[in-house]
Amino acid sequence: SLVGVQSPRRTSYDVAAEPGYTLRTLPETGIGLNVPVTVSEGTRYRAEDVLIDAGMVGSFIASGYTAAPELEASATWHLSDKAPRLLGSITNTTGFRLQEAVLLVKGEARELGTLEPDQTRSFDITLGPQDPGPLSLGSSSYRYAPNAYSTWGYSAYIPGGCFNYQGVPLTIPDVMRGKRFSCSSGNVSDTQQEIRRRYKLLAALIVDRELSGGRGAGVYLFAWANTPLIPVGVDGKNYSTEDTTLYIFDLPVDVRSDTAVVEIPPALTTWAVTAKDDPATLLEISPNSFQLTDATQAAFEFRPMPEMRLEAVEDLSIRFQGRGPLQVELWNWERNFWVPVQLDPNSDTTIISRAARFAGPEQEVHVRVLSNDNTQYTQVEYIKIGYRGRLPD
């Protein structure tokens, strides 16, 4: 927990954490602790005679273990021959109010509002068209230019001119839901200060490097509380507290089929660059927005998310859009060679039937894109793979 002690006048304080927790200073953070500080260890960790000037803030970190609050929740992905739906409910069994709760899934955020103790909220989310997420969150192709690699995009949002954060503006705007705050140092309301604290805390915790946000098929609840997680106080003096606690709950997820044969859209798949040993393979790319020459190729591996693995793959859908003399090929796992695909000239979606031969041991599908003529401009806007088959019983 981050702890700040603000003083109305220049004086010394004894700052202490309750038994079971440690306390240390942050000498290079904020202002007000440019003096030596002694932290003693007894039944409690205690920072003694901390001199803080008027209007300044002394910064500390309190650490330790505490039991996670219990939340009663369920979430089920319903798969069919239509767009996936996520149904579920949340009952606030934490014993305290969860404020401005937001449910996050891949590509979607749903505001649930404030949940009082024992209050229940249901949710029903239909997943819209999205790109697959990278198998590795450290994908270097996103690290350098994340906004260049998506067909569904995002809009940048700055809540205050004095605030900035690293990475793609994804989770932080999803959680804060467009709230803004004043950058003024005076005459700022309590609400504005609380909004600023929340932004600062989120920015310290979250750096999104790509547009899936690493959410996979998971379902996450972000909510705020004004109850302290680790008890820290000032000994021997009257003081008031302003507590801002962020709770992140990873909800249990189930998968259910509503029809005998279901579709796994690209949104519920992952991708990775493959054929890395081939010198012709481009390594610093994603399946969206890349160019090829006759000396290069793009090779990707797609697979359903682990929760969405099928018992058997029946059909594949190749969603492809590009310009120029391009050739798309699939790897035949039964015969170990590349098979050219005759793309539908009238649609960006080509259906491959009897597709089991193109699905590997973990239903991975290898796709290769090549240019047939280096004298013409070639540009691939996107390539994605969707699956059709039956879920395990």
Q: What is the mean pLDDT of residues 352-366?
A: 96
Nearest to 77 by CA among 309, 308, 393, 387: 308
The CATH number of whichever domain residue 296 belongs to comes to 2.60.120
Long-range contact pairs involving 237-241 (C-beta distance under 8 Å, separation at least 24): 237/13
- Residues 122, 153 within the same domain: yes
- Residues 123, 161 within the same domain: yes
- Residues 115, 247 within the same domain: yes
Q: What is the mean pLDDT of residues 344-359?
A: 95
pLDDT digits (tens, 9 = 90+) for 94-129: 999 999 999 999 989 999 999 999 999 999 999 988
- Residues 134, 252 within the same domain: yes
Range with the poorest average pLDDT among 144-153, 226-235, 376-385: 144-153
- Residues 81, 221 within the same domain: yes
Instruction: For the chain, give the percent of residues with pLDDT over 90.
Output: 56
End-of-domain residue from the set 43, 63, 83: 63
- Residues 149, 175 within the same domain: yes
Q: How many Å apart are CA 58 and CA 11, to the nearest integer?
A: 12
For the chain, report the end-to-end CA distance as a whole number of angstroms.
Answer: 45
Nearest to 362 by CA among 285, 299, 309, 283: 309
3-state helix, strand, coil split of the chain in percent (to 5) is 10, 40, 50
- Report pLDDT for 28: 59
The pTM score is 0.86
Domain extent for 24: 2-63
Q: What is the mean pLDDT of residues 217-241?
A: 90
- Residues 90, 166 within the same domain: yes
Whats the size of the chain, residue-wise? 393
Amino acid at position 297, single letter = Q
Q: pLDDT at residue 147 above 50?
A: no
The mean of the pLDDT values for the chain is: 88
Total number of domains in the chain: 3
- Residues 249, 267 within the same domain: no
- Residues 145, 113 within the same domain: yes
- Residues 215, 298 within the same domain: no
> Which one is predicted more confidently, 46 or 372?
46
Nearest to 18 by CA among 39, 42, 44, 46: 44
End-of-domain residue from the set 38, 63, 88: 63
- Residues 178, 317 within the same domain: no
- Residues 341, 223 within the same domain: no
End-of-domain residue from the set 63, 83, 104: 63
In angstroms, the Cα distances linking 253 to 88, 127, 259, 263 are 9, 15, 19, 18
